[in-house]
Structure 1
Amino acid sequence: MSMSSTTSSSTASSSTTGTRIDPITASVLQRRVDAIAKEMAGMLMRSSRSPIFNEIGDLVTVVFDKHGNTLAQAEFAAIIAFGAHPSLEFIINYYGDDVHEGDVIIHNDVYSGGNQNADTGIYVPVFADGGLVGWMAAKGHMADIGGMTAGGYDPNAKDIWQEALRIPPVKIVHRGVLQRDVWDFIAANIRMDFVMEDIKSMIGCCTVGGRRLVEVIDRYTLETYEDHMNYILESSARQVRAEVGRWADGHYYGESWMVSDGFDSTKKYKIACEIEIKGEEITFDFSGSDDQAPGITNMPPASAKGAVRIAFLMIMAAGGINIPTNQGLFEPIKTVFREGSLLNPRFPAATVFGNQMCDEVVECIMTALSGILPDRVTAGWNKYLCTSTHGVDPRTNEAFGTLTVFQRTGPGGMLGTDGWDALGFTGTAGQMRAPDPEMFELTSPHFLEYLEYLPDSAGAGEFRGGMGTRTAWSNYGEHQHGVTLGDNVRHEGAVPAQGLFGGADSGLNEITVTYPDGREHLWGSKEIIELPSGTRMESISGGGAGYGDPRKRAVAKVLAEVRDGVLSREKAHDDYGVVIADDGLSVDQVRTTALRA
């Protein structure tokens, strides 16, 4: 039942026919397809019911060609976007020729190409000129998808059946006719009625996306469209191969650590990556990672492959290599995930935490390549920690579910650039939004007290890490529970993300829960707890790691941050060797020169 331990991207290239390729037409078509993906995402966010969709944007929309190659995507949550392709690969092989105009296929199963059970996908084939011409997909994090706990996040789960309703490819619409029995079966296993409304929104945006694609094909002809899109995929692959070919051949190693598996809060797991560069090919081999965990802290190969692609795109973009996000980008990449390991667990292992392990995968890759691409890599991002809460809203007596992702950790610094403050999770690369505070309070029974930058949280460096945040909120929901999903929790003995070239390591995280009776509890990184009405949560989210010797940081930058109140005089002195004068507005140059010497 498990996926192959060795996976590689589909070959994007295919020879064109006799059509003469016009680079301007190719550029227009590429942007038109990209616009379709973005229009679909906008429709989905504006028509959906769940705040996870319409406020946070924990979703993606993708345009594929008829072979399942990615042509364009609106990647609010990049880890989901790159997880959409393996699912479609399986769907195409599963149905073969049994795909028809008007079909709608739903899928979430991590053992047949899915990246996370909560990330459920809708796939719609597109037909023109009497044949299949492409696929539209919408995929997003459902507020509930069955399983033993509302929301699907439960660190006590030991297998996939406890986590969620497992949905292999199934048609919920066949030749334009809703399959009522299938629809009712899925609805019967989901606690929140609005989730089915969100699925309708996903079907709607894919339907409109398909119409837009047919309009493009009608305008340019199918042959012109297909030949120019193949040209774009081939061009992307050539550019990537040429860039990888400039990197030094060799073997490079990096590792990262995850702490706590939901059962043992102090257990440490190693995620390790050996990278081989050979000519224009690059292989990411994670065989050295620890064996799979007993609970939810396992990563399906589709999610792991997505994390590799996120890190690869970061490195490409840092070198000024701007290529449309399509299948050609990943044609030279090979990924290896050992069966039975954290990144390719054996069936029926639980895996709902897998997306969050993107932080460890990215850190592995950045550390491994820091020696040969020091101007491309980032220092370690503080591993993300967020909470998910579910219960009943006493204002409406209806069930609610939300992700409190306004808790934002800091990214790492890189050569020439400080880490972006409070960016958060590598798996969303800054694109998934924090909920608007007022909407958070309107759509769920919470009161947000404050959300602000955390002074002194950035890892010191010539280019410091991004700052983290501090947040406090309280709840008044009924029958409410909350679950944490993350890492780098201080009281669990977390291993901070690594600084590079003399930069300091990342900060750590902590959430303190104060119950109505005054009792306090330090919330673990993967722990489900009851949240009685009146419970208060206070979160500290640390900053990212630093890059380079802090004593080389520009004195003016240090002074400016002290003036702004985001850096203390003590940290300026101890970490950066900068002595702030008694007035707090200037630098004591003599003492600073002596200290830095």
Structure 2
Amino acid sequence: MQRDPVTQELVKNALATVADNMVVTVVRTARSQVVKQSMDFSTAICDAKGQMVTQGLSLPVHLGAIMPALEGVLKVYGNDVHPDDIFINNDPYEGASHLPDIFLFKPVFAGDVLLGYLTVIAHHTDIGGRVAGGNACDNTEIYQEGLRIPPLKLFDRGVPNHTLFRLIQQNVRVPDKVMGDLWAQIAAVYGADREMLKLAQEHGVEDLRGYMDELIEYTERITRAEIAALPQGEAEFTDYIDDDGIDPDPIRIHVRLTVKGDEVYADFTGTSPQCKGSINPNFAFTQSGVYAAVRCLLSPELPNNAGYFRPIKVYAPEGTYVNPVHPAPVAARGLGGFRVMQTVFGALAQLNPDRIPACWGSGELGISIAGYDRERKPFVFLEFHNVTGTGGGPDQDGVDGGPIPVLNLANTPIELMEAEQPFLVEEYGFVPDSGGSGKYRGSLGVTRQYRILADEATVQVRSDRRRFLPYGIGAGKPGTPCTIHLNPDTENRLLPTKWLLELKKGDVVRAELAGGGGYGDSFERDPEAVAQDVREEKLTPDYARREYGVAIVHGTQDVDWEETKRLRLR
């Protein structure tokens, strides 16, 4: 049947609106900071076959995570799908991502016809397990990481599974936040169900299904055309993770990226074996990282759906770091997934040197602070530092304090953190001289300092980029390392990149995140731009002289042009 292109566009935008409205519902009704403020969640609509049709404006890195989790549900339930069912899944070995990410899928029916599945995935503050927050790097098997929920029915034909609800509630440390976020997910899919039925009434059930199919086919055609227009060829790149928090050896991530015709191939042969600790990304998350990285080269108007995935092929040998096998722990897999993206970007930069920036900074810091307040009420604080800036690019500096690529997470206001948990944030700012030098410098690293106010608190940190720094491109220098100190004004103890400690009231944790890599030769940077960075206290005069060959006049902070000319002679 020939589809009307005008109606096709209207349906495309209407479906995107339904997915975005789920985002709004979650933000307005969720209870935890990691969901309602940081927005660590995603929404999507899948068709009756489980193919993603559209994704809400939330996390790009969840691009490839939704379909495998739904596939895990459909493998178990097959045709046992009915109106007002809601399925739940968080098992990484049943298609989900890691245990804190709980997937909900609600089938939407128009009469007896299954239109598709409404999806909300949310990162929950706690999922039980041996360490609050569910991101401890020193877990050695998935059984330590928390409550493992295989594909199950949370609602069966509209009837809530009270046993499952109670099981979840009794296994988490902060049930008000976890159950509140779970009900926010439920509210979102129910609201989207009503909107989908309105679309079915407006366009007709079969036509709506047809337009959903065509949207996927259209996306595949456009994706293939855009890939075919990219520079063709093969590139290899290797990046490293410092360690897994247990074994001191670095973890090698190697990719051979091939752009051939209208397809992209990413082969991770040569990557290290899966590690002992919990920073392994499962294969679905590895795929997501590749999809998200390649997506940055294509048109922003391109829909995010199953059609986009088809021309991108990902291979990772089983048992390697990027495709671990059961019972490997994966709770802190975000670090590995982000490094997969940085590795793919490194390969893409060889084929597209005028479009790909240097590596972003941050060190992928995640921190959880948990314990009991004065009233013996449990608290769990969870934060991922992803608003930390970007690497220098072909025509501009890295964005200081901006969101890193492939994520869309927001900054949590400090006032809200301090209002809900017993700690103070004593400092939050930029680290001078931390961005990698280059014609276009990398973003500055960010510092954050926490003071514990509870009598006792368990603090767990996941970080990296101390030994293997955020890479520059061309002659650009790497960013500075990520460092974490305990009680910097007294003992000033340098902590490892991944750790778990019991702290006391008054203890201070100071994190200085890695700066972004630089792009191009630093001696080609405009001296006036260097002077402006000095005026804004982003660079010190000594650093400007050493790294950029720019002399700054003391007092006026203007460029000393004669001295600069002498310094830049090579």
Indicate whether the TM-score tops 0.5. yes
In structure 2, the partner of 1:253 is 236
Maintained 8 Å contact 1:513/1:523: yes
Aligned counterparts, 1:348-497, within 5 A: 348-382=327-361, 383-394=363-374, 396-406=375-385, 408-423=387-402, 425-426=404-405, 428=407, 431-489=408-466, 494-497=467-470
Report if aligned partners of 1:389, 1:480 keep a CA contact under 8 Å in 2: yes
Q: Say if 1:154 and 1:386 are closer, same or farther in 2 by CA, change over 3 A.
A: closer
Q: 1:144 aligns with which of 107, 122, 126?
A: 126
Preserved CA contact (<8 Å) 2:218 2:307: yes
Aligned-partner Cα distance in 1 for 2:536–2:350: 35
**For residues 212 and 408 of structure 1, what CA distance do their matches in structure 2 show?**
33
Residue type matched to 1:558 in 2?
Answer: V
Secondary structure of the structure 2 residue equivalent to 1:370: helix
Contact 1:422 1:469 in 2 (8 A): yes
CA distance in 2, matches of 1:104, 1:407: 31
Which one-letter code corresponds to 1:472 in the other structure?
Answer: Q
Q: Secondary structure at the match of 1:49?
A: coil
2-structure distance, mates of 1:425, 1:47: 26
Instruction: Output the amino acid matched with 2:534.
Output: V
Q: Which segment drifts farther, 166-175 or 72-81?
A: 72-81
Shift of residue 348 of structure 1?
Answer: 0.5
- TM-score w.r.t. structure 1 length? 0.91
Give the structure 1 partner of residue 523 of structure 2.
Answer: 551
Name the SS for the 1:483 alignment partner.
Answer: strand
CA contact (8 A) 1:459 1:543 kept: yes
Structure 1 residue 416, shift from structure 2 partner: 0.9
Mapped partners of 2:30, 2:554: distance in 1: 55
Residue in 1 that maps onto 2:227: 244
SS for the counterpart of 1:531 is strand
CA-CA distance at 1:376 after TM superposition:
2.0
Give the structure 2 partner of residue 591 of structure 1.
563
Of 503, 508, 527, which aligns to 1:536? 508
User: Could you tell me which of 291, 296, 301 is aligned with 1:322?
Assistant: 301
The separation in 2 between residues aligned to 1:589 and 1:519, in whole angstroms, is: 44
Q: Which amino acid aligns with 1:538?
A: R
- Once residues 214 and 549 of structure 2 are traced to their aligned partners in structure 1, the CA distance between those partners, rounded to angstroms, is 54
Please state how far the C-alpha of 1:276 moved relative to its aligned partner: 2.1
Counterparts of 1:425 and 1:370 in 2: how far apart (Å)?
A: 17
User: Paired residue for 2:290?
Assistant: 308
Q: CA–CA distance in 1 between the matches of 2:219 and 2:137?
A: 41
1:125 aligns with 2:107: yes
The one-letter amino acid of 1:412's match is G
The alpha-carbon distance between structure 1 residues 503 and 165, as it changes in their structure 2 partners (threshold 3 A), is: same
Which residue of the partner structure matches residue 204 of structure 2? 221
Q: Partner of 1:208 in structure 2?
A: 191
**Amino acid paired to 2:480:** G
Q: What letter matches 2:273 in structure 1?
A: D
- Give the 3-state SS of the residue equivalent to 1:168 in structure 2: coil
Q: What TM-score comes out, normalization by structure 2 length? A: 0.95
Alignment of 1:494-533 (within 5 A): 494-514=467-487, 519-533=491-505
1:465 shift after superposition:
1.0
Partners of 2:238 and 2:548 in 1: CA distance: 28
SS for the counterpart of 1:449 is strand
Closer, same or farther in 2 for the Cα pair 1:432/1:169, shift >3 Å? same
Asked if the contact 1:61–1:81 (Cα under 8 Å) also holds between the matched residues in 2, the reply is no
Question: By how many angstroms is 1:519 displaced?
Answer: 4.3
Q: Distance in 1 between matches of 2:386 and 2:209?
A: 44
Equivalent residues of 2:140, 2:276 under 8 A apart: yes
Q: Secondary structure at the match of 2:303?
A: coil
Q: Which amino acid aligns with 1:251?
A: E
CA contact (8 A) 2:235 2:351 kept: no
Once the two structures are TM-superposed, the CA of residue 370 in structure 1 deviates from its matched residue by 1.9
Give the whole-Å Cα distance in 2 for the aligned partners of 1:532 and 1:211: 50
Deviation at 1:427, TM superposition (A): 5.4
Distance 1:366 1:69 in 2: 26
1:162 CA displacement: 0.6
Deviation at 1:51, TM superposition (A): 1.5
Q: Return closer, same or farther for 1:407/1:98 CA change in 2, 3 Å cut-off.
A: closer
Give the partner amino acid of 2:15: V
Deviation sequence 1:469-513 (CA, Å, 0-9, x none):
122121212442111112113xxxx11121111001122111111
* 1:559-580 Cα shifts (integer Å, max 9, x gaps): 2211212122222222222222
Q: Distance in 2 between matches of 1:471 and 1:277?
A: 41
Letter in 1 for 2:495: W
Query: Residues 425 and 308 of structure 1: is their aligned pair in 2 closer, same or farther, counting only changes over 3 Å?
Result: same
CA distance in 1, matches of 2:401, 2:297: 20
Select the residue among 257, 271, 275 that pairs with 1:293: 275
User: How far apart in 2 are the matches of 1:280 and 1:515?
Assistant: 53
Partner of 2:182: 199
In structure 2, relative to structure 1, the CA distance for the partners of 1:485 and 1:75 (3 Å cut) is farther
Partner SS state of residue 82, structure 1: coil
1:103 and 2:82 are equivalent in the alignment: no
Which one of 58, 70, 94 corresponds to residue 76 of structure 1? 58
1:63 equivalent in alignment to 2:42: no
> Residues 470 and 514 of structure 2 are in contact (CA less than 8 Å); yes or no, is this contact kept in structure 1?
no
Contact 1:69 1:326 in 2 (8 A): yes
Query: Shift of residue 186 of structure 1?
Result: 2.5
* Structure 1 residues 427 and 109: alpha-carbon distance in aligned structure 2, compared to 1, 3 A threshold: farther
- Structure 1 unaligned blocks of 5 or more: 1-17
Higher mean displacement: 449-458 or 472-481: 472-481
CA contact 1:359–1:425 (8 Å) conserved in 2: no
Pick closer, same or farther for the CA change 1:159–1:426 going to 2, 3 Å.
farther
Find the counterpart in structure 2 of residue 35 from structure 1: 17
Q: For residues 175 and 321 of structure 1, do their structure 2 counterparts lie closer, same or farther at Cα, with a shift above 3 Å needed?
A: closer
Deviation of 1:437 (Å): 0.9
> Residues 415-461 of structure 1, C-alpha deviation per residue, up to 9 Å, x if partnerless?
11221212355552xx2112101101111111111211222111111
For 1:467 and 1:291, how far apart are their aligned partners in 2? 33
Q: What is the correspondence of 1:260-299 to structure 2 with a 5 Å cutoff?
A: 260-264=243-247, 266-299=248-281
For 2:100 and 2:455, how far apart are their aligned partners in 1? 23
Distance 1:192 1:483, change over 3 A: same
